[in-house]
A and B are shown apart, each in its own frame.
Chain A
Amino acid sequence: MPTKTGSSADTHVLRIDGQPESLARIGDWIMEAAQACGLDEDEAFKVQLAVDEACTNVIEHAYEGRGGTIELCCCREGTGIRVRIQDWGQSFDLDAVRQPDLYAPLKDRQVGGLGLHFMRSLMDQVRFSFDQDEGNVLTMVKTCSGKHFPDGEETPA
């Protein structure tokens, strides 16, 4: 499918095929959109990582590698931004994904769950909904709080 972009002063839209090869284009788009909405480059980079992880989940789990449309929308919200990511693939329950144990020794480290951990660490709000017509909708909000990069040193579980 052709990539479609659109933007008004404060709303930026990208429709793109859900393939791994689209991730670089999505990354460039969100960096530009987030900065156009007022985030500085460091904050935009964190949003890029959260969006990349979210889209990777859509590509690998919702569309199971078969492709399908992903629609992204980025707009200003207060002093920060709101990013909406919509797909029409299989529904999945983000709340069922276990938080990885960041202190587990190598032999017990799980490979799954890191993407969602990044999304939750980097963004101030992460919400997921599913609707027959709307499909899967992930909404993430980033406020311009000047928060430092989370350092993985939170209290051990």
Chain B
Amino acid sequence: MSDGEIGIVTPQGRIDAATSPQLEVALHDHMAAGRLHLIVDFSDVHYLSSSALKVLLVTLREVRHRGGDIRLAALRDRGYDILEMAGFHRLFAIDGSVEEARAALEAEA
């Protein structure tokens, strides 16, 4: 798989009900361009609420249905705690870094 087929989204700061639509648009832009293997880089995210999780869940369902995947990379401890509280660690592949996520997606292909 070439790099061009992997879409990376890099949200910043706080993902709540006000900002989660931006995450949704960024993910959907990749999907619209045919990139269904996606990485969300959380290294600059210090806060996420259930609004972010809803976007991730709906998008994961859609990309898996179309043969793709989303991997979540570089989550901070609190971000991981929030995903775990929702049981999302059982739904998503989670990697320590974007590089690891990229390697895993390339291996899947």
Contacts and interface: CB of A to CB of B under 8 A. Distances in A.
B76 to A, nearest CB: 11
A20 B16 CA distance: 8
B82 interface: yes
Contact of B87 (A59, A103, A149): A103
Interface stretch (A2-10, A104-112, A125-133): A104-112
Contact of A118 (B18, B50, B89): B50
B80 to A, nearest CB: 9
B54 A56 contact: no
B93 interface: no
Contacts, number: 79
Interface residues of A, number: 32
Contacts of B51: 56
Interface residues on B, range: 20 to 34
A102 to B, nearest CB: 3
B82 to A, nearest CB: 7
B61 A23 contact: no
B12 to A, nearest CB: 12
A106 B85 contact: no
Contacts of B61: 106-107, 109
Interface string B14-49: 101110000000000000000000000000000101
Given A56-B49, A106-B64, A109-B57, 19 more contacts: A20-B18, A21-B18, A49-B49, A49-B82, A56-B51, A60-B17, A100-B87, A103-B90, A106-B60, A109-B61, A109-B91, A114-B50, A114-B86, A115-B50, A118-B85, A122-B85, A149-B84, A152-B85, A152-B86
Interface of B: 14, 16-18, 47, 49-51, 53-54, 57-58, 60-61, 64, 78, 81-82, 84-87, 89-91
27 contacts: A24-B16, A45-B78, A56-B16, A56-B17, A60-B17, A100-B87, A102-B86, A103-B87, A106-B57, A106-B60, A106-B91, A107-B61, A109-B61, A111-B54, A111-B58, A114-B86, A115-B50, A117-B50, A117-B86, A118-B49, A121-B85, A122-B85, A149-B78, A149-B84, A149-B85, A151-B81, A151-B84
